[in-house]
Structure 1
Amino acid sequence: MARKTGSHAEITGPRIRAAAARLFARHGFAAVSMRRIAAEVGVQAGALYLYTPDKQTLLFELMRDHLEDLLAAWAAADAPGPPDARLARFVRFHIGFHLARPDDVFIAYMELRNLEPGNFAAIEALRRRYEDALEAILRAGREAGLFAIPDTKLATMALIAMLTGVNTWYREGGRLSGDDVAEIYTDMALKAVGRTG
């Protein structure tokens, strides 16, 4: 369906997505209706369908965009170097990126169960690409004799869970800054992989 002449798509579309993200993160996808999203934005419920076909598509696009942004940001942050330096960079990157986007992270991890099968498969493929980037670092470290890891896939899952878990407890203005947490977690991650150097 085409947007009406004179509509402010460049303003309303992003406002709808931002409102949906806020509401999904606070109340959960299942508890939030399209009508509630419309009320948050200040438009009629029917107007939402000028920007998205349904709530499922809105959820999928929020998750997809978050993961695509994550992958692009990591590609820009990564650099050649020894595996231990790259792992340290990955840890700092992951924590910094995720702490800056708590609602996106919550949705990306907690609302997977609400995705339809095709959407779930697409999101899982993006998640695997990010996990594969970490596993490649761990594999290189093991092959170089720097990391003592019996199973790089398991180590990847454990590290991702540990790093993403920061979002469940970290609050800005607390005892430690985000940078402090990133440095401490970097040290813990290097110890967890049995860095030998």
Structure 2
Amino acid sequence: MARKTGSHSDITGPRVFAAAQKLFARHGFAAVSMRQIAAEVGVQAGALYLYTPDKQTLLFDLMKTHMVDLLAAWTEICPTTGPADQLEAFTRFHIRFHLDRPDAVFIAYMELRNLEPANFEIIEDLRKRYETVLEDILRAGQEAGQFTLPDTKVATLAVIAMLTGVTTWYRDGGRLDRERVERIYWNLVRKSVAA
């Protein structure tokens, strides 16, 4: 019996991905078995193969979904104003988007090493597309004389690393609310590029 009585693919499929994401983030991809994912969902291990051909594909799909959603969400809000406004929007967007997805962020950064080469290439391309968004903003600001940067690529990677790091320490209900965190990080980014 592959499917639990009363289960539905439109319900069970998302539960499989959510369980895999939770377990990969908590224990690491290599330490999690398909049986553990099935137990978390409440189905037999064979039922997982209705939703994914293997664990590698599951990891790849989680990472790809995260990156595609990230790029799409930025496209929806990307301001057409000047570089300084775009940089502030990017800073706030990155924090806001990632704070709601700490498990996806952890997997996207820590499990790259477990992707097979073809899958890694696709995820790396998506990551570079996102990095290019910020690098283009920084380059435009530098060309307009608003930013002072010795190297836009290094600055891009440094800013993204700093912004992403918020997911490792921030907790809702703590000393700072999200808006305050966004303001602090925007001031840090602004000063780092001399905007």
Q: What TM-score results when the alignment is normalised by the length of structure 1?
A: 0.95
What is the RMSD computed on CA atoms of the aligned residues?
A: 1.4
Instruction: For structure 1, list consecutive stretches of 5 or more residues without a partner in the other structure.
Output: none
Q: Work out the number of aligned pairs and report it.
A: 192
Q: Give me the whole-angstrom Cα distance separating, in 2, the residues matched to 1:178 and 1:106.
A: 19
Name 1:147's counterpart in structure 2. 147
User: Which position in structure 1 is the counterpart of 2:175?
Assistant: 175
1:150 Cα deviation (Å)?
1.4
- Between the aligned partners of 2:77 and 2:125, the Cα distance in structure 1 is 21
Following superposition of structure 1 onto structure 2, how do residues 12-161 of structure 1 map, counting pairs within 5 Å? 12-161=12-161
**Structure 1 counterpart of 2:94, one-letter code:** H
1:7 Cα deviation after fit? 6.2
Structure 2 residue runs of 5 or longer lacking an equivalent are none
The CA distance in 2 between the partners of 1:36 and 1:157, in whole Å, is 35
For the residue of structure 1 that corresponds to 2:145, the secondary structure is: coil
CA deviation profile, 1:5-30 (whole Å, cap 9, x unmatched): x9621111111000000111111111
Q: Which structure 1 residue ranges, 4+ long, deviate > 3 Å from structure 2?
A: none
In 1, the alpha carbon distance for the partners of 2:7 and 2:85 equals: 49
Q: Secondary structure at the match of 2:36?
A: helix
- Contact 2:17–2:58 (CA under 8 A) maintained in structure 1: yes
Distance, in Å, in 1 between the alignment partners of 2:95 and 2:133 is 16
Q: Is the 8 A contact 2:35 2:45 kept in 1?
A: yes
Quick one: percent identity of the two aligned structures? 69
Q: Which residue identity is paired with 2:148?
A: A
CA deviations on 1:69-93 (whole Å, 9 max, x unpaired) are 0000000111111100100000000
TM-score (norm: length of structure 2): 0.96
Alpha-carbon distance in structure 2 between the residues aligned to 1:140 and 1:51: 44
